[in-house]
Amino acid sequence: MVNIMNLLDEIILIIWNKLNKIDVLYSFLNVSKRFDKLIRDKIYTHSIELIKTNCEEKDNCSLSDQILDRFCLDTLPQINSIVEELILESRSMERIFYAGDYTRLYVFDDCQCFLDGHLRQLRTLIVRIDLIWNSKLFINNTDILNLKCFSLTSYTQTNEYDTHVVPLLRRMIYLEQLTLYVSVNNRSTFIDGIHLNNEILDHMSQLQTFSFNIITRTNVNTYVNNQLYEDIRFH
């Protein structure tokens, strides 16, 4: 029987490339200094997806507690300076911050904490959350300089679009790709192309792609699904 420790680096990398990145990090980090050096390659640390593969929207996409605990307590602290892309769901975010130096936070707070500057190499952040609630968390209002791609999907209605979502987006001044799927409640006016241009897009001079599905619920209980690509294009 061949011991993996006796294989050439090239053969080990071929084997690892057949595996899920999380499985590689979970199984081989801290096994040996040689493996640690190999595993810090961008192939395994550039993009980390902390959700189950082939997971449908609104399913329980969380990884097992055992894998999340290992990642939060041991793996992320060793590689957070070189991670450029994180794909998360809300439960993963809560566990990551609970395992670190943060108090337990609501999910949108967790999203903002990811963007407080401690993940300096983060280029892409894809977030699916259940709730955007009113928060008393102190938010760092400095510009987010390195983020190039941001996706936010919220599955429930929120009253905090103007107070939480818009201020966060306006900090992403070098963003190139933005995806925004939200349902906004109790607003006096609909979110239209003029609003999106003035409040968000005008603050993103590098933006190339904007994909969105925004539902606004006004005080008169009328729903409008704002597919406003043409409206935005002409403002």
Shared domain for 92 and 195, answered yes or no, is: yes
Shared domain for 167 and 150, answered yes or no, is: yes
Shared domain for 75 and 88, answered yes or no, is: yes
Shared domain for 26 and 108, answered yes or no, is: no
Shared domain for 57 and 145, answered yes or no, is: yes
Rounded Cα distance between 22 and 32, Å, is 17
Rounded Cα distance between 215 and 232, Å, is 16
Shared domain for 33 and 102, answered yes or no, is: no
Shared domain for 24 and 74, answered yes or no, is: no
Strand arrangement of the beta sheet that strand 177-187 belongs to? 47-49, 85-89, 124-129, 149-158, 177-187, 209-218, 223-226
Rounded Cα distance between 88 and 69, Å, is 15
| pLDDT digit string (tens) for the chain, length 235 residues | 567 888 888 898 888 888 888 888 888 888 888 988 888 877 777 777 777 665 655 455 667 777 777 777 788 777 766 766 666 665 566 566 544 433 333 456 556 666 766 566 678 887 777 778 766 555 567 888 888 999 888 888 999 899 889 999 999 999 999 999 999 988 888 899 999 999 999 999 999 999 999 999 876 554 555 545 555 554 4
**Number of domains comprising the chain:** 2
Shared domain for 59 and 149, answered yes or no, is: yes
Domain extent, residue 155, equals 47-233
DSSP for 85-114, written as a single string: EEEEEHHHHHHHHHHTTS----HHHHHHHH
Shared domain for 160 and 228, answered yes or no, is: yes
Shared domain for 11 and 105, answered yes or no, is: no
